[in-house]
Structure 1
Amino acid sequence: MTESLRWRKSSYSGGGDGDTCVEIASLPAHVAIRDSKAPGRAVLSVPAASFAAFIESVKLGSWPAE
């Protein structure tokens, strides 16, 4: 599955090689997420709407919830 996906990394990736972040790939109804330091390991898939809500809450500064 991960070979055929188009992975992209955040522009906020830290470190010299930009490998201290997660990568995401869009699927029809989900977003796949993987560790950029270990791309051959497990992939997490979440509903696209849930991922969008998570990203929006991070942008608004309301995550993590206290």
Structure 2
Amino acid sequence: MDELTWQKSTFSGGPEGECVYLATAPGGTIRLRESDTPHVVLTAASEGLAALLRTLKAGNIDNSRA
């Protein structure tokens, strides 16, 4: 994997062990990782991530199926 430039989310707070980092890969996909497991990297298309964030902000999550 190419070297990525990771940026700490502005919404991350608390100790260094509780931070979310994001990076943009050369193909335009978004990479996410947590500081407590930096070797685990999630990949998302920017459109899909934006849709997820809009849903979370709107509170439209149905927890009854979890």
TM-score exceeds 0.5: yes
Q: CA deviation at 1:61?
A: 2.2
| Match among 39, 42, 53 for residue 40 of structure 2 | 42
Q: Which has the higher helix share?
A: 2
What are structure 2's unaligned runs of at least 5 residues? none
* TM-score between the two structures when normalised by the length of structure 1: 0.68
Query: Could you list the runs of 4 or more consecutive aligned residues of structure 1 that deviate by over 3 angstroms after TM superposition?
Result: none
Q: CA RMSD in A?
A: 2.0
One-letter amino acid of the structure 2 residue matched with residue 34 of structure 1: R
| Structure 1 residues 16 and 34, CA gap change in structure 2 (3 angstroms) | closer
Aligned-pair identity (%): 32
Q: What is the CA-CA distance between 1:47 and the residue it aligns to?
A: 1.6
Structure of larger gyration radius: 2
Q: TM-score, normalised by structure 2?
A: 0.68
